[in-house]
Structure 1
Amino acid sequence: MTHTIEDRAGELLAGRVPFVRATVVRAQVPASARAGDDAIILADGTIEGFVGGQCTESSVRAAALGAMRDGESVLLRVLPEDAGPFPDTPGARVVVNPCLSGGAMEIFLQPRLPRPLVHVVGHSPIAAALAELGEPLGFEVVRAGTGTQPPATPSALVIATHGGDEPAVIRAALDAGVGWIGLVASPRRGAGVLAELTLTEAERARVSTPAGLDIGARTAAEIALSILAEIVQEVRAGRLAVPDREPARAPRLAVDPVCGMTVAVGPDTPHLVLDGADVWFCGPGCRDRYATTAGR
């Protein structure tokens, strides 16, 4: 059975692996790629699929790693040095690639990053509402007791059991490194639960009770909404990270000594080792030309 880019994207999403989906939107003859060609770019710069030759891949790799770091989609216009008429697209990022033999291209780069994982403990109506409302808000919600275990350490955990061994659950979550723990309880009962624990100041800051922003919520759905709103607030403020999403780093860049193009260094980037130093190139053509000049 043919393994498509769509299949691969599904595997990566299921495994909570960050990547960028690249799709050719327009391509001008004699570009080797065609509209609809697509590829996946991983965090190490590996490209799976096809969006053009080596020179195009260098531009795509650099832009994709930047898009992954920023979490923002990019419409990339890759133009040869002597680009002819090619309809402009407002808002597109333009890269002039001196190695292209011709054929301007537009490629849409969409970062696909792991969603914040929220683990919900309990079988109450509030727990059910959290699962229902969390998905549209961009969270991956896993409920305890459903036979499905969280695929990673959750970003947030909500305890909606209305009793039980809540101190033990909180202690285990803190020790596991969960960034935000919400306890659904009245102020009085919540204070009583916390009194059973010995918490550092930093640990206490990670526990919210009563969980949720004060919006005057009454129904289970409204309470769930207030809890998710508090989690969104934590995410947007940068206080709640996604534990299994490695912080995206700026790509390592190098300048091709032949054509002067800036390239992102990855496992597939052509290079030579000269006098013990790595020299990186946009493609094998520039590499071979440089090797010949250097007497290699």
Structure 2
Amino acid sequence: MATPLSASAFLAALHNEGVQVVEVGNWETHNRNQKGPWGPVHGVMIHHTVTKGTANTVDLCRRGHSTLPGPLCTGVIAKDGKVHLVGYGRTNHAGLGDPDVLAAVIAEKKPPADNQATVDGNRHFYGFECENLGDGEDPWPAAQLEAIEKVAAAICRAHGWNERSVIGHLEWQPGKVDPRGFTMDSMRDRIGDRLGGKTPTPAPLPTPRRPVVDLSQLIAAARTNPQASGQPVTYAGVRTVEAALVDQGLLSKRYSDGHYGTTTVAAYAAWQRHLGYRGSDADGIPGKTSLTQLGDRYGFKVTA
């Protein structure tokens, strides 16, 4: 049982384990937390995608589809061993599962046969989708299996869990078969070997560098007619500021897209009013004092 790692601590854990990471869009704030709590977390769940092609698979897992909104997992483990991070927090990957399996994961024991679907797994597991057709014939390259091992070990190491905190979807929810093509017992053996055959003591993670936002570039982005969502952004620091405005409750996550449009202007103006500014001083164009106060609260530095 544990509080979920922060996004920065999670990323550091993956890097420390030697995982090849690809960060996709606003993965740190892309989640389904508005639909229910995330945490306490108890383990890692492995899936296969029943898809072909990394780009298509990553896009599907990030966006979801008409009957199941994204993100559909924390990360996509591609056949080449790269791990594409698409979401962080509650994601639509596990669904309802067996309470006896959850109890076994918490106790770090071998999971029993699953025969119930009554417990919310999206709340309690990090989820990873692995690019594979799931037909029992599509191969699992060595690089991909090693990446699964490293990802699971990284999270276990960070939380002080052993390999029995890692399960497959087929062990959680009746009727599921994923991952198909290797056994979870064999994967847990690999993870256990990587962890040294014992429950690790959580290692202190390096203090992540604070993002830096350049005030002049941010102002230029705010005063320029932004390009449409989906087009390249003019300044990457906009995403950092928008994420802070989302956390402050002033901006909807769907508008946190790296474009300093009218909605972001209105959200920043609300932040300025929150600080006591009025009139033209609360026009949604960042100033050094208001931006520094936002950065101090949400973990980024401001340069002039």
TM-score class, shorter-chain normalisation, is: under 0.3
TM-score with structure 2 setting the length: 0.26
Higher CA-based Rg: 1
TM-score with structure 1 setting the length: 0.27
Relative to its length, the structure with more helix (as a share) is 2
Relative to its length, the structure with more strand (as a share) is 1
